[in-house]
Structure 1
């Protein structure tokens, strides 16, 4: 396919690529990123394409793969950012149990040694790296995973005791 042929079908290909990306529930900006990457890949191999049908099929395949890659790269929402279920639709006993569990967990977290709590909080809530945690808490980088594992183990043991 020569440059002129590619330029003639480029707008249609871009729209198809965006439609595929949106079908994977990507937001508009991410869909545009997928379209940009896919069009760049198609442009680099335009001489090898045999007509509009082949270009369209390849564009859809590239868009699908890039969309899946982009979804894999997105980080899941942490518990601190998750929105709780609407309390109007929860049963009173479930609400009571949930509030008791939260209070119990708060007490258990307060009982952790200061450094273990700090490491656990920085890692789980603030999503800091081991190097950042070490700098903030004032410990070695090698101590961070040890303290984190120790804090998690203490909480797990307490959960098992609680039943």
Structure 2
């Protein structure tokens, strides 16, 4: 069995943990605090690391639970992801194309932010972090079938709402 190293196995997860916390809390400062708390909590459990199958899944689970605890405490009145930098449009695009691209990204982000937490988390872990259904099921403590259903519903909702808003501007 591989010996787990905080520096080599846990610290490199901080960006992934941040994205998950941000997707759940929708607040940059809150997500940064959660990542710190997650790293501390994982470090404090270092005696158990060798018994853990996947330190990554364990860390993501701790991060998710801390994020959910925070939003429950705050009463879930969160900001939007507006302060997160949008995907960079092509450098060759003109200002109008860049504006349209930025608006589309903002619209999709708003739709994703409005999804139920479990759908949002599943979509984040699958589409943005590239996790397998099995890994997501372990992190969220649900079945692989539930993961697939949540991702399907999230994608359908995003697609339907995006098309409706993009076509009608509502």
Query: What TM-score do the two structures reach when normalised by structure 1?
Result: 0.46
The structure whose RCO (Cα within 8 Å, separation 6+) is larger is 2
Max Rg structure: 1
